[in-house]
Structure 1
């Protein structure tokens, strides 16, 4: 893990106190501060190089040989597993409607949808209610912290970086055995996700680091506040 066990323990302990207190904290917005830009750019370059020479070629090959229906099935499967995180995160934010919707999606797609291979819930009018523990922390007043570019994990705020830990703990793949199958599942999810982003690269203009940073932060701000930022950074 990229986060130390000490920091993890402190973060989870602090979050537990907040949740147990029942205090009504205002959701904390995203910080656009980037005090570690020099270091972040180095990590970005490392990630970008790894992507260019390893992940992207594999994703392009996968995109070429895997028919679209196969990619859709893979996407549906891992999206269905993500409903467990959505249920937990929405529940901790006391979002009853979103929690029920995520629960309904998990049950329907895991049964009628054949273990999540088919998305039956969406045509039934039960839309996905994405959430993660970074958003949960924001809901309960945990400050955003500065922007970070993490090795392998990519752009995060400090808050969403800590959220990776409970996100991982709520992912059934984390507990799958044997290890070889768990690695294969994780790799499939990663490659499938990367393949879906191939066309998005054409949208990047100007400095790649700045574009990706600001796009990520604006998206997180929208997910927290429901409002688009006034400025285009």
Structure 2
């Protein structure tokens, strides 16, 4: 698969004059705020703690993921996602331990924008959102759905919700650090991030499970970055 080139960006990315400043601001924020926070986080916490935190947040995302599997009419992935969520919630102590992965129930990726794409809704203009990163007009409704489906929305205490959100920001910075570094090392970071996101989105619409190596084909990478992950770049 090959994403749109910079030469054709006028047709595929009409919002580029708006997107690029937001993209650059997001990179600046990560480099100067989230990056140092992540370095401090790694300095004061052991690896098993960071892995456990990432597991908990990944588990909290699962209801949104398997719900969209079912909305797409993909029953088997939906049942696998539901099973993964139940196994890790019950036997993995709320997702602290990724027990399901050992039972051949691997992590998945999905979203309501993918669901709309499966049912023929066009992507619409590529859109870079402040703090959030790559998206499109088709994906905007899914952001609201993700909030209402996520278990933390139903926490009885607002303080717990704020604590969850703060820890989520720290965890996002930790998880996304390698991808952000790869984007910064690309020949054209903006085009690379756009192509990676659009290819990843189309790959999910086509029903494939995440194969990050395939996402690297046709991207604007320097020779030393070819082994890194391209999914979910900011």
TM-score of the superposition, structure 1-length normalised?
0.80
Deviates more, 1:51-60 or 1:74-83: 51-60
- State the partner residue of 2:56: 77
Q: Does 1:219 align with 2:219?
A: no
Report the secondary structure of 2:127's partner residue.
strand
3-state DSSP of counterpart to 1:141 = coil
Stretches (4+) displaced over 4 A: 227-231
Asked whether 1:44 is paired with 2:5, we answer no
Offset at residue 231 of structure 1 (A): 4.2
Match of 1:35 in 2: 14
2:111 corresponding residue in structure 1:
132
Say whether the 8 Å CA contact 1:145–1:159 is kept in structure 2.
Answer: yes
Q: Residue in 2 aligned with 1:200?
A: 179
Structure 2 residue aligned with 1:9: none
What is the aligned partner in structure 2 of residue 165 from structure 1? 144
1:63, 1:88 → 2: CA distance?
Answer: 33
Structure 1 gap segments, 5+ residues each: 1-29
- 1:50 offset after TM fit, Å? 2.2
Q: 1:186 aligns with which of 139, 160, 165?
A: 165
**What is aligned with 2:230?**
none
State the alpha-carbon separation in 2 of the partners of residues 231 and 57 from structure 1.
Answer: 32
Match 2:77 to one of 98, 102, 111: 98
Shift of 1:150: 0.7
* Count of equivalent residues: 204
Give the secondary-structure state (helix, strand or coil) at the position aligned to 2:36: helix
1:137 deviates by: 1.0
Runs of 5+ consecutive residues of structure 2 not aligned to the other structure: 221-234
- What secondary structure does 2:103 align onto? coil
Shift of 1:197: 2.6
Task: Say if 2:30 and 2:173, in contact at 8 Å, map to a contact too.
Answer: no
Residue in structure 2 matched with residue 17 of structure 1 by the alignment = none
- CA separation of 1:65 and 1:131: change in aligned 2, threshold 3 A: same
Give yes or no for contact 2:15–2:127 (8 Å, CA) kept in 1: yes
Match of 2:33 among 54, 58, 69: 54
Is the 1:101–1:128 Cα contact (8 Å) retained in structure 2?
Answer: no
Match of 2:228 in 1: none
User: Is the 1:137–1:163 contact (alpha carbons within 8 Å) kept by the matching residues of 2?
Assistant: no
- Measured in 2, the distance between the counterparts of 1:117 and 1:88 equals 22
RMSD over equivalenced CA pairs, Å:
2.2
